[in-house]
A = this chain, B = another copy of it.
Amino acid sequence: MTDNLKVLRKLLGEVSDLSHAAALLAWDQQTYMPPGGAGARAMQLSTLSTLAHEHFVADEMGAAIEGAKSEVKDLDPDSDDARLVRKAEHDFLKEVKVPSSWVAEYSRVTAMAHQDWEQARAESDFKRFQPHLEKIVELRRQYADFFKPYDHVYDPLLDDFEPGMKTAEVKSVFETLRKRQVALVQAILEDGKPVDDSVLHQHYDTQKQWDFGVEVIRAFGYDFKRGRQDKAVHPFTTGFGIDDVRITTRIYEDFLPTGLTGTMHEAGHAMYEQGIDKALERTPLAGGASLAMHESQSRMWENLVGRSLPFWQAYLPELKKVFPAQLSDVSLEDFYRAMNKVERTFIRVDADEATYNLHVMLRFELEIALMEGSLTVSDLPQAWNERFESFLGVVPSDDANGVLQDVHWSGGMIGYFPTYSLGNVIAAQLWEKIQSDIPDLEKQIASAKFDALLGWLRENIHRPGAKFEPIELLRKVTGQGLEAEPYLRYLEEKYRQIYEL
């Protein structure tokens, strides 16, 4: 390795260590930290993220990047080293525009906001969360302004989660999705053969649910020697290196799908991180290509696999062994239909595939309005409820089931939500390619065999980590850019069959 590249790798390694340490502090905060720890933890996270930022934008780093650029200029532009220098430069040029004082304040504000959001949600008390969110929106506007000029104030936020993506592109894809999904939901609820999911609303022992979920994701290929699962109020995946990627879940004793689908979803994220090439460890390439690409993995395992008929051909017999009293009478067909029941419900994470994107679009539109300044935080609950009714035909029962339901805004993550729907779209694009590469995929899933699927994902998506921008990677793998059509095809076909439309 050449000299500047060596220095660059060392410096990036230290930033990676700081970020991973911060990630562990955040993991602990949501799993095991006693309530008293909140205040000090907020300071610690602030210090670590500020230091990570300062180290990343240091003159030394800039010089190492400059020097390394000339050292890699004759390499294959897709080699690890060339891509590393390119990514480092891209991130450096972005991050250097953000003052350390902003990073420190953002970290402190969001840490405190998270604590009060938990309380606010528990008590359905938006007023408690409001001042925090006002501060966060203000900080996020300041953040966007560091990147002026921009096409849209939302662009710099989106770019953090979805490198290279523009607000206008998202709007366009969402426009296509919305029309067809609203129509689909309407057809299902007005003309579909009703689905009875009462079989899922029985008492299911939570430990047995946990164990079943573990068995499923172990079969998927999630490696527990390089990860673990814990309980959290809001499930998430986090990692502290390629060989330590952890997931969390929550389980309801009176509704079966939440625990299992959540576990499959997070395992999808985690297998992505566990599958990254070890040569990229401790570099900015040792992560997913983007959040949408990440979500394509989690939603694929959760839905395209975990809510599919072949999956339940393999696993319903197993689940019946665990819960004979509850499930012995149910047919595969009825269980599969129940797992895919379409409803106008309040909670995004519990939403079926037909309505899911509508939940996301609602948030996307509200975020844009907040960022543009056409909506104030104090008016947000009302705006939420109005839009919810227009998208989904119902009004949330209270703010806990409405505007307060998601953790994201308390963590400052504005610009994140659209990646969920983009993930659905990408998942379907990849799925079509996988089906053509693995013709007996459904048969394999029906036999609980996932190694060919995981192997394909490892090779095509996981291994390169963040070497490529998401759409660049998508194009390499499928030959297409972002396309809504495969997802809409998948949805319409699936629900036409289930609801006999």
Are the CB atoms of A28 and B33 closer together than 8 Å?
Answer: no
Which residues, 229 to 254 on A, are CB-close (under 8 Å) to B? 230, 240-244, 246
| Distance of A435 Cα from B230 Cα, bound (Å) | 46
Q: Known contacts being A227-B34, A228-B34, is A40 close to B20, with CB within 8 Å? A: yes
- Contact residues in B for A491 (Cβ distance below 8 Å): none
How many copies the complex holds: the figure is 2
Asked whether B47 lies within 8 Å of A240 as measured between CB atoms, the reply is no
B226 touches A34 (CB 8 A): yes
Residues of A1-27 at the interface with B, using a CB-CB cut-off of 8 Å, are: 13-14, 17-18, 20-22, 24-25
Chain B CB within 8 A of A281 CB: yes
Contact check, A40 vs B243: say whether CB atoms are below 8 A apart. yes
B36 touches A225 (CB 8 A): yes
Do B228 and A40 touch (CB < 8 A)? no
Residue among B37, B39, B47, B246 making CB contact with A14, cutoff 8 Å: B47
Residue of A17, A41, A242, A282 contacting most chain B CB atoms (<10 Å): A17
Q: Mark A34-63, 1 if CB is under 8 A from B, else 0.
A: 111101110110111001000000000000
Question: Which one of B21, B28, B51, B223 lies within 8 Å of A44 (CB-CB)?
Answer: B21
Given A21-B25, A24-B25, A28-B24, A243 contacting B36 (CB threshold 8 A) = yes
CB contact between A18 and one of B36, B47, B241 (< 8 Å): that residue? B47
Q: Give the Cβ gap from A113 to chain B, nearest Cβ, in Å.
A: 19
Q: Which residues of B contact A39 (CB under 8 A)?
A: 241, 243
Identity of the chain B residue whose Cβ is nearest the Cβ of A15 in the assembled complex: B47
Complex interface: chain B residues within 8 A of A47 (CB)? 13-14, 17-18, 21
Q: Which of B22, B37, B246 contacts A243 (CB 8 A)?
A: B37
CB pair A34 B244 closer than 8 Å? yes
* Extra A-B contacts (12), CB below 8 Å, given A21-B22, A41-B241: A14-B51, A18-B51, A24-B28, A28-B28, A34-B227, A35-B225, A37-B243, A40-B240, A40-B242, A40-B281, A43-B282, A44-B241
21 contacts between A and B (CB under 8 A): A14-B51, A18-B51, A21-B48, A24-B24, A24-B25, A24-B28, A32-B228, A33-B244, A34-B227, A34-B228, A34-B246, A36-B223, A36-B241, A37-B243, A37-B244, A39-B241, A39-B243, A40-B243, A40-B244, A43-B282, A44-B240
